[in-house]
Structure 1
Amino acid sequence: MLYPELFKQLEAVRWNMDTDIPWDKFDASRLTEDQARTIKMNAITEWSALPATEMFLRDNRDDSDFSAFMSVWFFEEQKHSLVLMEYLRRFRPDLVPTEQELHEVRFDFDPAPALETLMLHFCGEIRLNHWYRRASEWHTEPVIKAIYETLARDEARHGGAYLRYMKRAMQKFGDEAKAAFAKVGVLMASARRTAQALHPTNLHVNAKLFPRDTIQSRLPDPEWLEKWLDTQIQFDAVWENKVVERILHNMSLLMDRSFASVQELNRFRKEMAARVAAATGVVVPLASS
């Protein structure tokens, strides 16, 4: 089991909201209205760990090890929402999310293949780590800068934990896991070819609720994410390339094969899909041609 070791590792570096956040360094003159409003949107977005955890537990009922790890992931992700709300409670109480605004992002996700979902969230942690690092640079108020730095480190650790479960899945499922991870890896490393930000909170997950079936679509300001990325934290091509490089680097380590580009990963995906089809007689859907 991975859960006992991961619990111990994450417990050892867990930060304390009262003593590890420099609340006394708050400088009201360095917090703009736009910055304060983005903190509210991030707080609500982080609350979506609740429906994500419900999805993980439902779709991994046969995996008690991973399900137990969800207790750690869920705690730390909800803590992210809580620390952002605590910041607003202390310094901008008019912007604290209401319970209804938080509850709005709790809805059922359609069932999906567990291996693909695991890879999706692994890539999501990489992307969020980079988003929060950039957010910390964009913010000018010292306390929120420190908070985003703290959250970014957590997201990186979560990505590392997911990677451990991906390695275990490859030992258990072989080419099936490789095909699933490569398929989603190609999708998540191809953000420059899409009109939307490729993160789990911005993907459609409930056909019956479409188009209000993404986390972002259910925020008080559904257009917030694109503005935050494009004009506020300015998550440009340089930063997007950092995300792609991390995905390709980790896929190279995972598959013991070098992927210098998304195109090389895509060729590997086709190879794995063909091997799974040959072995099982089941054709694996292609993410792209």
Structure 2
Amino acid sequence: MLYTDLFTSFEKARWEMAKDIPWHQFDASRLSDEQAQTIKMNAITEWSALPATEMFLRDNQEDSDFSAFMSIWFYEEQKHSLVLIEYLRRFRPELMPTEAELHAVRFPFDPAPALETLMLHFCGEIRLTQWYRRAAEWHTEPVIKRIYETLSGDEARHAGAYFKYMRRAIERMGDEARVAFAKIGVLMASAARTGKPLHPTNLHVNKGMFPADTVQSKLPDPEWLERWLDQQIQFGKLQEGKVINTIFAKLSTLYDRTIDSANDLNRFRKELIGRRPAAA
């Protein structure tokens, strides 16, 4: 089981909100209203780990190891929401999310293939690692800068844990897992061409609620994410390239072959699909 080792390593890396966040360094003069509003939106977005965990547990009924890991992931993601809310409680209480605003992002996700969802969230954690790094650079207030640096480190560890489960999936299911990961990899690596931020919280997940079936659509300001990325933290081509290159590097390791582009990955996916009848 991967869960036991992951539990041990995550325990060693865990930070404490009371001791590891330098609350005493807060500088009100370096926090703008614009910046404070984005903290609220991220606090609500992080709360969506709740429905995501419900989805993971439902769609991984046969995998107790991965389901147990959800206890760690869910705890840490909800802690992200909590530390952002605590920041607002201390320094901008008028912007604290209401319980209704938090509950709005808890809605049912349609069942989806477990392997594709795993890859989607692996890519999402890589992307969020870079988003939060840019957020830390954009903010000027010392405490929130430290918070985003801390959250970025957590997201990177989460990506590493998902990668371990991806490797295990290939050991168990072979090309079925390889094809699923390549399919989502091509989608996520093509984000720059779509002009839309591709992340689990911005993808449609409930056909019956379409088009209001993304986490972002449930926020008080549904348009904030693209504005945050494009105009505020300025997550541009250079930063997007870091995300895509990390995905390619990880898949190259996973597949034991060089993946340098979405075309490389798509060709490999077609090779995998093409050899299925021969294997059968």
Paired residue type of 1:72: I
1:274 Cα deviation from its structure 2 partner: 2.1
Matches within 5 A, 1:180-259: 180-259=180-259
Q: Distance in 1 between matches of 2:171 and 2:245?
A: 25
Q: Distance in 1 between matches of 2:107 and 2:224?
A: 20
Provide closer, same or farther for how the CA distance between residues 24 and 188 of structure 1 changes in structure 2, counting only shifts above 3 A. Answer: same
Contact 1:175 1:275 in 2 (8 A): no
Paired residue type of 2:98: T
TM-score scaled to structure 1, two decimals? 0.96
Q: Distance in 1 between matches of 2:152 and 2:271?
A: 34
Match of 1:7 in 2: 7
1:276 Cα deviation from its structure 2 partner: 3.3
Match of 1:116 in 2: 116
1:195 Cα deviation from its structure 2 partner: 3.3
Match of 2:159 in 1: 159
Match of 1:177 in 2: 177
SS of equivalent to 2:24: helix
Paired residue type of 2:146: A
Paired residue type of 1:222: P
1:275 Cα deviation from its structure 2 partner: 2.5
Q: Distance in 2 between matches of 1:104 and 1:211?
A: 15
Q: Distance in 2 between matches of 1:82 and 1:227?
A: 23
Match of 1:145 in 2: 145
1:240 Cα deviation from its structure 2 partner: 0.4
Provide closer, same or farther for how the CA distance between residues 94 and 277 of structure 1 changes in structure 2, counting only shifts above 3 A. Answer: farther
Q: Distance in 1 between matches of 2:228 and 2:269?
A: 32
Matches within 5 A, 1:261-276: 261-276=261-276
Of all paired residues, the percent bearing the same amino acid is 71
Q: Distance in 2 between matches of 1:268 and 1:165?
A: 21
SS of equivalent to 1:18: helix
SS of equivalent to 2:121: helix
Match of 2:53 in 1: 53
Q: Distance in 1 between matches of 2:106 and 2:196?
A: 21
Q: Distance in 2 between matches of 1:169 and 1:236?
A: 33
Match of 2:82 in 1: 82
Matches within 5 A, 1:63-74: 63-74=63-74
Paired residue type of 1:228: W
1:278 Cα deviation from its structure 2 partner: 4.9
Match of 1:37 in 2: 37
Q: Distance in 2 between matches of 1:175 and 1:253?
A: 15
1:194 Cα deviation from its structure 2 partner: 1.0
Q: Distance in 2 between matches of 1:249 and 1:151?
A: 23
Provide closer, same or farther for how the CA distance between residues 277 and 215 of structure 1 changes in structure 2, counting only shifts above 3 A. Answer: farther
Q: Distance in 2 between matches of 1:18 and 1:208?
A: 42
TM-score scaled to structure 2, two decimals? 0.99
Q: Distance in 1 between matches of 2:278 and 2:166?
A: 23
Q: Distance in 2 between matches of 1:94 and 1:277?
A: 61
CA RMSD in angstroms, aligned pairs only: 0.8
1:279 Cα deviation from its structure 2 partner: 4.3
Match of 1:17 in 2: 17
Contact 1:176 1:276 in 2 (8 A): no
1:92 aligns with 2:92: yes
Match of 2:127 in 1: 127
Structure 1 moving runs of 4+ over 3 Å: 276-280
Structure 1, unmatched stretches of 5+, are: 281-289
Q: Distance in 2 between matches of 1:6 and 1:74?
A: 14
1:277 Cα deviation from its structure 2 partner: 5.2
Provide closer, same or farther for how the CA distance between residues 11 and 179 of structure 1 changes in structure 2, counting only shifts above 3 A. Answer: same
Mean CA deviation greater in 256-265 or 31-40: 256-265
Contact 1:182 1:269 in 2 (8 A): yes
Mean CA deviation greater in 4-13 or 261-270: 261-270
Q: Distance in 2 between matches of 1:269 and 1:241?
A: 22
1:271 Cα deviation from its structure 2 partner: 1.1
Contact 1:43 1:80 in 2 (8 A): yes
SS of equivalent to 1:249: helix
Paired positions, count:
280
